[in-house]
Amino acid sequence: MSESARVVLILGGTGEAFDLAAIIETLPGWGPVTSMAGRTRSPRIPAGEVVFGGFGGVDGLAEFLKERGISAVIDATHPFAGLITRNAAEACETAGLPLLRLERPPWPVKAGWRCVPDADAAARFFRGREERVFITSGRKELGAFAGSASFFLVRTVDPIQDGPPLENCELIAARGPFTVADEKKILRDYGITWLVTKNSGGEGGRSKLIAAGEAGVGVCIIDRPPLPDCERVETAPEAVGWLEWL
């Protein structure tokens, strides 16, 4: 990054953020600094400067923007990372900085899917039922499923170190992308009757939905949380185009 380059802060952790940093690194007049939460072991490291860990809320992020002389912010975090997205909107408004949300589109809802607003609503659906449920929605909300009579197969990127989070569950740790054949094998081997996942969108996670449809497995999908209004694009090249107009 040249000394004269303006700095864009990319709130990262997604494939779109990784692609965006690589493009901006070669963009005249701009240089990327990517922030990553650091929760995943051995993450992909994007081009340019990378900072790990949180900012300490809105005030901490606002201070970082000021100290580093940030000229623009592109929020390319996961569609369900609502806290950092809200903090970014507030900090950028306070600092008077332009903010763009780079967000992949959600998967179109298919007939027969059960759409719920959050993990608590998904868990309530399985209370009193004896199903075999494949959960790929992450580890944070697993406690909501406690006390169910169903069996849960839980897949996370990194192993859960502190033991099974649910009474009747099995844990698997694996990093995608997964093929449709991979996902169908899991559904078949474990006798899965329902898939629980978040509507994250993107091609990387679509295979499990295709597999569920082909295997006759029910899909319970968690809707995206409401996020602050700001200008939005769906691809890294569109985000670069926005940046070039500033």
CA distance 76 to 230: 13
CA neighbor of 18 nearest in space, from 173, 235, 175, 229? 235
Do 6-104+226-244 and 114-222 have matching folds? yes
pLDDT above 80: residue 221? yes
CA distance 115 to 62: 36
pLDDT tens-digit map of 74-120: 999 999 989 999 999 999 999 999 999 999 999 999 999 999 999 99
- For position 40, what pLDDT does the model report? 60
E strands, 179-223, are: 194-198, 218-222
pLDDT above 90: residue 184? yes
- For the chain, what are the domain ranges? 6-104+226-244, 114-222
Per DSSP, the three-state class of 199 is coil
Least confident segment among 52-56, 160-164, 206-210? 160-164
Give me the CATH code for the 114-222 domain, please. 3.40.50.150
- For position 3, what pLDDT does the model report? 63
Which amino acid is it at 8?
V
Count the Cβ atoms, other than its own, within 10 Å of residue 14: 22
CA distance 122 to 141: 10
Question: Percentage of the chain with pLDDT > 90?
Answer: 74
- Under the banding of pLDDT at 50, 70 and 90, the label for residue 199 is very high
- For position 38, what pLDDT does the model report? 61
pLDDT above 80: residue 151? yes
- Under the banding of pLDDT at 50, 70 and 90, the label for residue 2 is low
- Rank 77-81, 134-138, 200-204, 212-216 by mean pLDDT and report only the highest: 212-216
Model pTM score: 0.89
Strand order through the sheet with 218-222: 114-116, 218-222, 194-198, 132-135, 151-156, 169-173
> 6-104+226-244, superfamily in CATH?
NAD(P)-binding Rossmann-like Domain (3.40.50.720)
CA distance 203 to 207: 8
- Under the banding of pLDDT at 50, 70 and 90, the label for residue 37 is confident
